[in-house]
Amino acid sequence: MANDPRKLKPSECCRLLNSTLLGTVINERQLHRHRVEAGNRIGDGRHVDLLAYADWLHEKRHAPKLVSEVDPYAKLKESARARNAAIALAGRDIGELPPVENPERKAKAAGSFRAFCEAYFRLTFHLEWSPDHLKVINKIEEAVIRGGLFSLAMARGSGKSSLAEVACIWAVLNGYRDFVCLIGSDEGHACDMLDSIKTELDSNEVLAADYPEGCFPIQALDGIANRANGQLFKGKRTQIGWTAKEIVLPTIAGSEASGAIIKVAGLTGRIRGMKFKRPDGKTVRPSLVVLDDPQTDESARSLSQCANREAILAGAVLGLAGPGKKISGIMPCTVIRPGDMADNILNRDLHPEWNGERTRMVNAFPANETLWQRYAEIRAEGLRAGDGGAAGTEFYRQNREAMDAGADVSWKERFNHDELSAIQHAMNLRLQDEAAFFAEYQNEPLPEETVGADQLSADQVAAKINNLPRRRVPIAGNHLTAFIDVQGKLLFYVVAAWEDDFTGYVVDYGTYPDQQRTYFTLRDARYTLATAAKGTGLEGSIYAGLESLTEELLGREWQRDDGAAMKIGRCLIDANWGHSTNVVYQFCRQSSHASILLPSHGRFVGASSNPFSEYKRRPGDRVGLNWRVPTINGKRAIRHVIYDTNWWKSFTHARLAVAMGDRGCLSIFGDRPDQHRMFAGQVTAEYYVRTEGRGRTVDEWKVRPEQTDNHWLDCLVGSAVAASMQGALLFGTDLSTQKDRKRLSFRELQRRKRN
């Protein structure tokens, strides 16, 4: 029988209320207290009227709470709250700004960057300026005030980074720029520069004395960044920002630096679209960018990374100001190697917009080399003996006039306390490490002669253009071959046409998937085999990539100059990469182009190895010029080719070295050398070392340490091997390399057989 809600026992009432989805909401003890408090309004002594109970709870809930005016505790709490609020408000307000200590000094510094450095940063710039410093200071001042781009390379330790940091402070404090962007080779480098600027704004007492509107609110934080959000000036928020990656100067009426921003970023990080929204709703973009040493040692040695950073500089960085506006820029940099990013930016022929300025520690070296050689010997002996170079310094003191003759240094005040002149200081640095001296102090790094001078450079290879359109076969090209280099992320390929005498033409090259950019490395590939074949594993993505690429290369017709249509006659696929060997064999066996495809294995045949000419030929083997197709053995029921990589790399290198127009020359499609810079970089990614062993001399090829990507070199070599298999033959390479055998009589043969 259903319970009557107007007449429930206390236990029934609790059970009914706790049976909702809310779970337990009341117990019998609580209900008892409510019954005592409400009396007969919610039921009699034995039963509870649920409806009256609910009405009573509603009235109790919404009844206004009266604070007794005579409650001393309530008054005490209210007064304590008001007192604490007043103390907090007083602590947040920085009060009145101190007056400017020296208005004349400030006015002079505001109009002259040199005066600003001398007045407020004497501890940083404590030596007299050199003519190069004054030239650089004038350039920086022009870039900040009137705009423009300026790149400078100064000797290590000349203060170029410090000048750039002070230029940021000068630009924002004097209202020349309201948004400065600091960019380093990476974000950590830029944050270090920002920390240096923070230290000056917070701790430089002379600067704070003349620029209280910018520095006093910062010093009021007492190094506690959390105070920035609540800081007040005359009851209004200063909107100051003080984070690890950003400085926002206080918003103060009448201040030239009101609301100015300094923000940091790494060159390869998030730069594009940088902006800042002010509290008044106005959006501002950077108007001055400072790039300090925007390259690293690693990136300077990579052609693709240098080109990538130059592209970022020209696109993302110079576009920071937004549509229709120009950005000013200052870039202190160091040339690490010839042709790196800094070297290119400083070159006014390549980048005239950057107004590159390259200074040296030594403008002219001393004429008397004999005395300096003797000085080097005496100094080295003294250092070994533990005198700290005192003997060399004494020798220089006695012969200083003769040893200084003909020398010209850019900064005469730069030398250590145990040295007598800037000339001696420069020569000591040169004696310590000549390569580092010319790179770090002269900004003219020595060429990296790690290989023989007779070996090709990337510029020479890129210049071997034949003015033919891409994918157009020359009329004399009788053989069309291709090679595919298999990697875990990408497939690299080269298609080449060959005449019968091994005159070659690179018709096409590229990667699958296509990276849609001019410069990249295997490591930073954006579109990979895995992204092209989603849902597949490593082997599956390689198989799918080979299927798509071979269909594109082998399934199409290649147009020849005379109008004839050609197809690739032989395509080799690298099967040396450990994870891909079985996949390559399986693909070559199952592909619709199986008659054209052949797995390949390059073998390192050094001076101490047996040459291909000494391998014993077996029945069924096909043998060619340092390559062979052995008889099928084992589980892989498909033939493959093995070739001598050292010999064929030397052969291909020689073809590239042949002058244009001569027989046996190898050239590249197109009419612009710059479009082949990445290809040429990979083709010259290895160098050879002449090695002797077992009575023969062999060119053993090794990868250059600064260029690890050599995939198109492997493809070009493989295409040449495929051409040899198709019948191309260079004059002089068809001579037999086997040793002459003596004629034996039948009697001698019988005797040897019995023994």
Per-residue pLDDT reduced to its tens digit, 579-615: 788 899 999 999 999 999 999 999 988 877 788 877 7
Q: Confirm whether 679 is domain-assigned.
A: yes
Q: How many CB atoms within 10 Å of residue 254?
A: 7
Instruction: Identify the domain boundary among 297, 332, 358.
Output: 358
Q: Confirm whether 450 is domain-assigned.
A: no
Concatenated DSSP letters of 181-236: EEEESSHHHHHHHHHHHHHHHHH-HHHHHH-HHHHHHHHTTTT-GGGGTT-EETTE
CB 680 within 8 A of CB 666: no
Q: Confirm whether 746 is domain-assigned.
A: no
Q: Which of 138-147, 405-414, 435-444, 630-639 has the lowest mean pLDDT?
A: 630-639
Find where tokens 């091994």 sit. Answer: 502
344 and 371, same domain (yes or no): no
Instruction: Identify the domain boundary among 324, 358, 392.
Output: 358
Instruction: Identify the domain boundary among 386, 415, 442.
Output: 442
* Mean pLDDT within 408-427: 89
* pLDDT recorded at residue 89: 55
Q: Among residues 292, 112, 123, which one has the least CA distance to residue 194?
A: 292
Q: Among residues 525, 567, 573, 527, which one has the least CA distance to residue 546?
A: 573
pLDDT of 411 strictly over 90: no
Beta strands in 397-474 (DSSP E): 408-409, 472-473
Q: Confirm whether 3 is domain-assigned.
A: no
* Mean pLDDT within 4-19: 86
The CATH number that applies at residue 243 is 3.40.50
196 and 253, same domain (yes or no): yes
* pLDDT recorded at residue 449: 46
131 and 232, same domain (yes or no): yes
Using CA atoms, how far apart are residues 178 and 744, in angstroms rounded to an integer? Answer: 96
pLDDT of 14 strictly over 60: yes
pLDDT of 696 strictly over 90: no
Percentage of residues of the chain with pLDDT beyond 90? 26
Q: Confirm whether 669 is domain-assigned.
A: yes
Residue 59: pLDDT band (50, 70, 90) is confident
- Higher pLDDT among residues 749 and 469, named by residue: 469
Residue 655: pLDDT band (50, 70, 90) is very high
505 and 386, same domain (yes or no): no
pLDDT of 571 strictly over 90: yes
Using CA atoms, how far apart are residues 244 and 228, in angstroms rounded to an integer? Answer: 13
Using CA atoms, how far apart are residues 493 and 470, in angstroms rounded to an integer? Answer: 14
Q: Which of 176-180, 312-316, 621-625 has the lowest mean pLDDT?
A: 312-316
Percentage of residues of the chain with pLDDT beyond 70? 94
- Higher pLDDT among residues 283 and 73, named by residue: 283
321 and 395, same domain (yes or no): no
Q: Confirm whether 423 is domain-assigned.
A: yes
- Whether the link from the prior residue into 513 is cis, omega within 30° of 0, is yes
* pLDDT recorded at residue 88: 59
Strand partners, 364: 408
Residue 227: pLDDT band (50, 70, 90) is confident
Domain containing 274 equals 103-358
Enter the pTM of the model.
0.59
* pLDDT recorded at residue 492: 96
Residue 67: pLDDT band (50, 70, 90) is low
Residue 665: pLDDT band (50, 70, 90) is very high
Using CA atoms, how far apart are residues 240 and 227, in angstroms rounded to an integer? Answer: 9
* Mean pLDDT within 339-361: 86
- Higher pLDDT among residues 62 and 633, named by residue: 62
Exposure pattern of 709-745 as b/e (b: 16+ CB <10 Å)? bbbbbbbbbbbbbbbbbeebebeeeeeeeeeeeeeee
The CATH number that applies at residue 657 is 3.30.420
* pLDDT recorded at residue 737: 44
Residue 450: pLDDT band (50, 70, 90) is very low
337 and 290, same domain (yes or no): yes
* Phi and psi at residue 696, to the nearest 5°: -140, 160
Number of separate domains in the chain: 4
pLDDT of 734 strictly over 70: no
* Mean pLDDT within 449-474: 82
604 and 663, same domain (yes or no): yes
Residue 36: pLDDT band (50, 70, 90) is confident
* Mean pLDDT within 325-351: 85
Q: Confirm whether 731 is domain-assigned.
A: no
Q: Which of 20-34, 158-172, 301-315 has the lowest mean pLDDT?
A: 301-315
- Higher pLDDT among residues 318 and 711, named by residue: 711
Instruction: Report which DSSP code applies to 674.
Output: G
- 504-515 pLDDT, tens digit per residue, is 999 999 999 999
344 and 382, same domain (yes or no): no
351 and 372, same domain (yes or no): no
406 and 463, same domain (yes or no): no
* pLDDT recorded at residue 86: 62
- 168-217 pLDDT, tens digit per residue, is 999 999 989 888 888 888 888 888 888 989 898 888 899 989 999 888 88
336 and 270, same domain (yes or no): yes
pLDDT of 279 strictly over 80: no
Average per-residue pLDDT for the chain: 85
Q: Which of 207-221, 448-462, 586-600, 661-675 has the lowest mean pLDDT?
A: 448-462
544 and 562, same domain (yes or no): yes
Q: Confirm whether 745 is domain-assigned.
A: no
